[in-house]
């Protein structure tokens, strides 16, 4: 397997590239519109054909490149059945996305948003905004729920093998990867807290809204393909 972790510094978003080295087929998880040329260039340099774009949820802090990659590369967009209506394949808990020798299992992990999913593959899990390194996604918009997030963390993600690598959707403090065991023991929002304490903590965060909330959510419900006047500039 070929694997790359890519980063957008403006939104602190991680995008993940996975590819089957035999078939040269690839997928991207959570691509960012401002980085679409970087990602397409990398695919070309590595001799890869993009088959899928996987979204972990409808993002509020950046515009996805999913729709543009579908237009320019012919990729299929995959996301939760509860998310954006523009996707090519709506998935539910237990569904599997197969590409060559790669198999990614869909885990429904609501809480940050009601459509949040994670993708598990072999020794790793891509958790979007549900589980961050030493943190967890906020729950105060997009039908978020602190109680649902606690259940997703403790009953779904923390039920995975302890050594499972955690690749988050964002990081703001310089972390790139963790493990399920580390997060169970050291995650500042959930470790050592019962369900009620966790809910109280999450409901009292009082965080400012994401700067791009009003633009990102409507755009991402359309897979990031919006009117030219509102679309971030993308090089041809």
User: pLDDT digit string (tens) for 162-201?
Assistant: 999 999 999 999 999 999 999 999 999 999 999 999 999 9
pLDDT in tens, 124-161: 999 999 999 999 999 999 999 999 999 999 999 999 99
Which sign does the torsion angle of CA 60, 114, 51, 8 carry?
A: positive
Please check whether residue 129 is in contact with residue 112, taking contact to mean a CB–CB distance below 8 angstroms.
Answer: yes
Residue 10, CA atoms < 13 Å, CB-side half-sphere? 9
How far is Cα 112 from Cα 165, in angstroms, rounded to an integer? Answer: 20
The residue extents of the domains of the chain are 2-204
pLDDT of residue 234: 47
Q: Are 21 and 44 in contact (CB under 8 A)?
A: no
Question: Mean pLDDT throughout 195-210?
Answer: 96
Q: Please give the model's pTM, rounded to 2 decimal places.
A: 0.95
Structure tokens at 69: 């990659």
Res. 205 pLDDT band, cuts 50 70 90: very high
Pairing of the two strands 135-136 and 131-132: antiparallel
Q: How many residues does the chain have?
A: 236
The yes-or-no verdict on residue 232 having pLDDT over 70 is: no
Closest of 78, 80, 14 to residue 50, by C-alpha = 78
Q: How far is CA 121 from CA 100, 115, 139, in A?
A: 13, 20, 26
Superfamily of domain 2-204: Ribonuclease Z/Hydroxyacylglutathione hydrolase-like (3.60.15.10)
Higher pLDDT, 20 or 226: 20
What percentage of the chain has pLDDT greater than the value 90? 95
pLDDT band for position 227 (cuts 50, 70, 90): low
Q: Please, what is the average pLDDT of the chain?
A: 95
């Amino acid at each position: 397997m070929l694997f790359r972790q890519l980063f957008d510094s403006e939104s602190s978003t991680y995008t993940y590239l996975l590819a089957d080295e035999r078939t040269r087929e690839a997928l991207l998880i959570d691509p960012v519109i401002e980085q679409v040329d970087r990602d397409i260039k990398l695919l070309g340099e590595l001799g890869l054909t993009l088959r899928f774009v996987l979204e972990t949820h409808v993002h509020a802090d950046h515009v996805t490149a999913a729709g543009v990659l579908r237009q320019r590369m012919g990729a299929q967009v995959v996301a939760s059945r509860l998310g954006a209506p523009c996707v090519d394949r709506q998935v539910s808990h237990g569904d599997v996305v197969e590409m060559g020798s790669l198999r990614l299992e869909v885990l429904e992990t609501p809480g940050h948003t009601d459509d949040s999913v994670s993708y598990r593959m072999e020794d790793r899990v891509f958790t979007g905004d549900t589980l961050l390194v030493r943190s967890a996604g906020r729950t105060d918009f997009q039908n978020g729920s602190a109680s649902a997030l606690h259940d997703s963390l403790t009953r779904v993600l923390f039920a995975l093998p302890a050594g499972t690598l955690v690749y988050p959707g964002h990081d703001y403090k310089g972390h790139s990867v963790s493990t399920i065991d580390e997060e169970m023991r050291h995650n500042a929002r959930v470790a050592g807290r019962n369900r009620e304490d966790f809910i109280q903590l999450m409901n009292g965060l009082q965080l400012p809204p994401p700067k791009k909330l009003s633009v990102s959510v409507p755009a991402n419900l359309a897979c990031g393909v919006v009117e030219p006047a509102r679309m971030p500039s993308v090089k041809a």
